[in-house]
Structure 1
Amino acid sequence: MTSRDHFLRAKEDLRRLLAIPSVSARGEKLSECADAARELLAEAGFRTELHPGEVGPFVVGECGSGSLTIMIYNHYDVQPEDPVSLWRSPPFELSERDGRWYGRGVADDKGEFVSRLAGWRMFRQRHPGPLPFRLIWLVDGEEEIGSPSLEGFLKKRFDGENVEVCWWEYGEIDSNGRPIILCGFKGVLGIELRCKAAKADLHSSLGAVFDNALWRLAAATASLRDRSGRVAIEGFYDSVRVSTDEENDLVKEPPFSFESLMQATGAQRPLTGVHEKNFYHAMNFEPCMNVNGFSGGYAGEGVKTVLPAEGFVKIDFRLVPDQDPQQVVGFLRAHLDRQGFEDIEIIVHDANVKPVRSSAEHWFVQSARELLQAHFGQQAIVQPSSPASGTAHPFVEQLGAEIIGVGLTHHGAMLHSPNENIIPEQFEMMIECSASIFERLMQIAETGSGRRHSKFERSSGA
């Protein structure tokens, strides 16, 4: 098969997977899509397994052997297609227009899975012999709902394994076509503050006598952050990992300007002290607290003069290494009590996604950077940490893996939104780059050299 043949085969594989509406939020078609992913891996020469999860099965493929173990993590589940009315083409079909391919999951994450698998087939066509490294491919069916089964599954299936690198589910391509290698992800803590101030809403004439739930929540929430945006909870910053000189060098020259970020997002109110010279450092290395929404009282048409009896506010914290979500909950409780808000209840919705950050000096990062530049014809950017979050910490804590993201998600991909898309030329380049990455892994495994900053280089004899 030629390179073009591999591309066309991958396009049809992607079309097949997109036609399966594997929406984990609805528990829909997950087994069907898992079977399809397993079949594709088996056809590519992997020993395959299916393992049940709480909602959707895990697909595992294994190939090769040796002291070097690499894991690839992808997922076959997708976000709901809503609102369907905003799609310009059927969400569960591969549609082509304006130089892009559209469909739910085309980028997140079926396109990433298929492009890597096509690169694997291309690599094995060139090198059909015994594989000198061990490759484990894990395809999750619950990523879009927080991977509730992942931690337990890894412990059960891979207990005692040493994995050098987990090639994460996605990487990015910026608006100028430059590939971005992701070396980490922030953690996330999602909570709700809830207040009950009376048995029922009261007449607002009693506002001269009684407090109400929304005033309590507003005051409590305001106490959590100062005017500059810095979190005011005692202990919150105590364990924050300080970025290294090497990491700071990587963010000195942002790949985009602060002005372009403001224009792209429509945001108009930068935090006090955030500007062109430090915004990218903050995105990579600084934790933050965000108010997602308030609810309570009357918000309908006209006026209803009441003192709200109940209300709640949704808040999330984006955390950095070595902050622990559960510890932050404890700091928050102590802060509210000190401020006189003992009556406000904390409900924890999500405290399972811990922050991770891998070494930007790791040999896999340096190899990927070199190969991406060769295939994309653009300087590859190494980003120490994504501002977003992912359930990556179990791979670090249980398997010892470095988490490194290399992939094809461009900045206009509309992830989780109508008209999700990828750029076919970038899809094709990622197929070829993936093949080159597998070749580099083979060379490193055969020679035992080039594993700079490896955790396992001594034990492996490298």
Structure 2
Amino acid sequence: MRDPRIDAARERSIHEWQEFCRFPSVAGDLDAINAAADWLEQKLRALSDRIERIEIPEYGPVVVAYFPGISTTTLMLYNHYDVQPAGELDRWESGPFDSQIRDGAMYARGACDDKADVTSRLRALELFIEDHPEGLPYSIIYLADPCEEIGSPGLETVLRENSERLSSDAVLWESYLREDDGRPAVGFGCRGGMEISLSLNILASNQHPSYSQILRSAPLELMRAITSLVDEDGLILVPGFTESALRPDAAAKARTQELSLPGDAISLPGISPLQNFSEEELKERFIFTPSMSLSGFDLDPSVRQSIPASGSARVRFGLVPGMDPHACFDSVKSFLSTTAPDIDVELIRTMQPAFSPVDTPFAVSVLEAAANTFEAKPVIYDVMTGSGPGAFFLEHLGAPLISPTGTLRPEGNMHGYNEHGYLEDYLTHIQFTFDLLNNLEAHEFANND
């Protein structure tokens, strides 16, 4: 049941979400990032008298608010306030930063990833503070990252250099999504990532296609090199690449069968978007199988009826806990140096995977709160399918991290055009965070010494 104060402040809560979505805070755009940080700091000052901005050079401030409690036990709320680029504006039905409301949904870049978290948690904190006039039962740190969408460069330094005052016992990560059938999903830890560039220069200049029967083709050789990294089932073939990957036990495999696979919300009529495996295998692969995808393929745009002199591609790998991205890069580079020696291989970025167990007292509280708020048994993702800087928090703060259900649904087009979240889901998101804060108190999180 929703707290009546949430419905009473419905318009105000939705307006704050809408207002924050209007900042075009694309990662790396310092003017927009700083403007969004100013707005967030102003909102936090109404709730906390201890706010700080820890600057990441070239990327903007990490905004931190402290809410001291009666005990020293601390919960961190991790959010990020940067967003992905909008892409081609004419593919949006309304401006990506107009945050237009239509058909019961908010349409904006970053509406659910991650601005719904940023503002819904502010409202839940306000209610929790209101209910504890004598002091919070445990401490809370609210942290907002300015550059998560580009791998959080500099955040590890912030955590390492400020680990004493940012020390936490648990981290409530940015939110996950609901299943297609409406059940809440709860993710533990997170995948890592590695993106590499492959480039090949063969000719001094583009050549006429009449030479195609005797000249090498840079694009075709790049494509062959990329496809050589995986087998016909999509499993990575590079020797040593998956050697240290987390292997699920029987209980973890059983939990994968509770989740639902993407369906009608992302499909075209008559075409299945899923790979051709059994549903059981697809579900297990979804959580525990390292992955590879093509994130870009570039040719000289002037090439039409010619043989390109060169080409480049970007390849992204999804890593599971246990895998080290730098060791994975060395494996790929070594493999290609033998199979495609003319291709130059460079590392673009990495993200270390993070593992958090599913059976901690914190996990029990998150799952109970989700079941209560959403009135359905939560689906457990032993490894969150998205990547993020969670490993930094584990390494420097020692805190397990859990990503709960928020506003996003599969059809919400996260990172895509016409990204959106439903208003009713947003209000439920506020209720869930409030329920969790209370559930932690009921389970004596404050005494978790």
Deviation sequence 1:52-99 (CA, Å, 0-9, x none): 122221110011243322111112222333333233334334432212
Cα distance change on mapping 1:174 and 1:283 into 2, 3 Å = same
Helix, strand or coil at the partner of 2:280: coil
Deviation sequence 1:251-305 (CA, Å, 0-9, x none): 123324x765884698657556x2212101101000022233443478855x43x
1:337 paired with 2:337, answer yes
Cα distance change on mapping 1:265 and 1:243 into 2, 3 Å = farther
2 CA distance for matches of 1:95 and 1:46? 33
Cα distance change on mapping 1:163 and 1:296 into 2, 3 Å = same
Helix, strand or coil at the partner of 1:28: helix
Structure 1 segments unaligned to the other structure (5+ residues): 449-456
Deviation sequence 1:347-393 (CA, Å, 0-9, x none): 21112x11123112222222122222222222221211232222222
Native 8 Å contact 1:192 1:314 kept in 2:
yes
Cα distance change on mapping 1:27 and 1:294 into 2, 3 Å = same
List structure 1 runs of 4+ shifted beyond 4 angstroms: 159-162, 202-210, 258-262, 264-272, 297-301
Tell me the TM-score normalised to structure 2 length.
0.90
Native 8 Å contact 2:79 2:117 kept in 1:
yes
| Residues 163-174 of structure 1 mapped to structure 2, 5 A cutoff | 163-174=168-179
Match for residue 120 of structure 2 among 108, 115, 131: 115
Native 8 Å contact 1:183 1:403 kept in 2:
yes
Native 8 Å contact 1:181 1:365 kept in 2:
no
2 CA distance for matches of 1:69 and 1:209? 67
Match for residue 255 of structure 2 among 250, 254, 269: 250
1:72 paired with 2:72, answer no
2:439 corresponds to which residue?
Answer: 440
Which deviates more from structure 2 when the two are superposed, residues 313-322 or residues 104-113?
104-113
Native 8 Å contact 2:20 2:36 kept in 1:
yes
Cα distance change on mapping 1:265 and 1:105 into 2, 3 Å = farther
Match for residue 36 of structure 2 among 24, 33, 38: 33
Helix, strand or coil at the partner of 1:236: coil
Native 8 Å contact 1:79 1:104 kept in 2:
yes
Cα distance change on mapping 1:102 and 1:291 into 2, 3 Å = closer
Native 8 Å contact 1:94 1:101 kept in 2:
yes
Tell me the TM-score normalised to structure 1 length.
0.87
Native 8 Å contact 1:91 1:104 kept in 2:
yes
Native 8 Å contact 1:41 1:61 kept in 2:
yes
Code of the aligned partner of 2:37 = A
Which deviates more from structure 2 when the two are superposed, residues 425-434 or residues 292-301?
292-301
1:396 paired with 2:394, answer yes
Helix, strand or coil at the partner of 1:176: coil
Which deviates more from structure 2 when the two are superposed, residues 376-385 or residues 201-210?
201-210
Code of the aligned partner of 1:325 = P
2 CA distance for matches of 1:105 and 1:203? 45
2 CA distance for matches of 1:246 and 1:333? 35
2 CA distance for matches of 1:29 and 1:309? 39
1:58 paired with 2:62, answer yes
2 CA distance for matches of 1:109 and 1:141? 11
Native 8 Å contact 1:6 1:122 kept in 2:
no
2 CA distance for matches of 1:447 and 1:38? 27
Deviation sequence 1:409-436 (CA, Å, 0-9, x none): 1222222233222112221122122112
Cα distance change on mapping 1:18 and 1:290 into 2, 3 Å = closer
| Residues 291-310 of structure 1 mapped to structure 2, 5 A cutoff | 291-296=294-299, 303-304=305-306, 306=307, 308-310=308-310
Code of the aligned partner of 1:350 = R
The sequence identity of aligned pairs, in percent, is 27
1:282 corresponds to which residue?
Answer: 285
Helix, strand or coil at the partner of 2:60: coil
Native 8 Å contact 1:262 1:268 kept in 2:
no
| Residues 380-391 of structure 1 mapped to structure 2, 5 A cutoff | 380-391=378-389
Deviation sequence 1:321-342 (CA, Å, 0-9, x none): 1111111111112212332x22
Paired positions, count: 443
2 CA distance for matches of 1:375 and 1:129? 26
Deviation sequence 1:390-414 (CA, Å, 0-9, x none): 2222111211121211122122222
| Residues 199-348 of structure 1 mapped to structure 2, 5 A cutoff | 199-202=204-207, 211-256=216-261, 260=264, 263=267, 268=272, 271=275, 274-296=277-299, 303-304=305-306, 306=307, 308-339=308-339, 341-348=340-347
2 CA distance for matches of 1:360 and 1:176? 23
| Residues 76-91 of structure 1 mapped to structure 2, 5 A cutoff | 76-91=81-96
1:151 corresponds to which residue?
Answer: 156
Deviation sequence 1:101-155 (CA, Å, 0-9, x none): 2233321212111111111111222222222322111111212232212111111
Match for residue 130 of structure 2 among 125, 128, 141: 125
Helix, strand or coil at the partner of 1:386: coil
Native 8 Å contact 1:189 1:317 kept in 2:
yes
Native 8 Å contact 1:24 1:56 kept in 2:
no
Native 8 Å contact 2:369 2:439 kept in 1:
no
> How far did residue 215 of structure 1 move?
4.1
Helix, strand or coil at the partner of 1:216: helix
Cα distance change on mapping 1:447 and 1:310 into 2, 3 Å = closer
Native 8 Å contact 1:92 1:104 kept in 2:
yes
Native 8 Å contact 1:58 1:138 kept in 2:
yes
Structure 2 segments unaligned to the other structure (5+ residues): none
2:48 corresponds to which residue?
Answer: 45
1:142 corresponds to which residue?
Answer: 147
Code of the aligned partner of 2:150 = I
Cα distance change on mapping 1:266 and 1:392 into 2, 3 Å = farther
1:365 corresponds to which residue?
Answer: 363
Cα distance change on mapping 1:299 and 1:82 into 2, 3 Å = closer
2 CA distance for matches of 1:265 and 1:28? 42
Cα distance change on mapping 1:80 and 1:210 into 2, 3 Å = closer
Match for residue 10 of structure 1 among 13, 25, 28: 13
1:21 paired with 2:20, answer no
2 CA distance for matches of 1:269 and 1:420? 20
1:418 corresponds to which residue?
Answer: 417
Native 8 Å contact 1:247 1:360 kept in 2:
no
> Root-mean-square deviation (CA), in Å?
2.6
Cα distance change on mapping 1:226 and 1:142 into 2, 3 Å = same
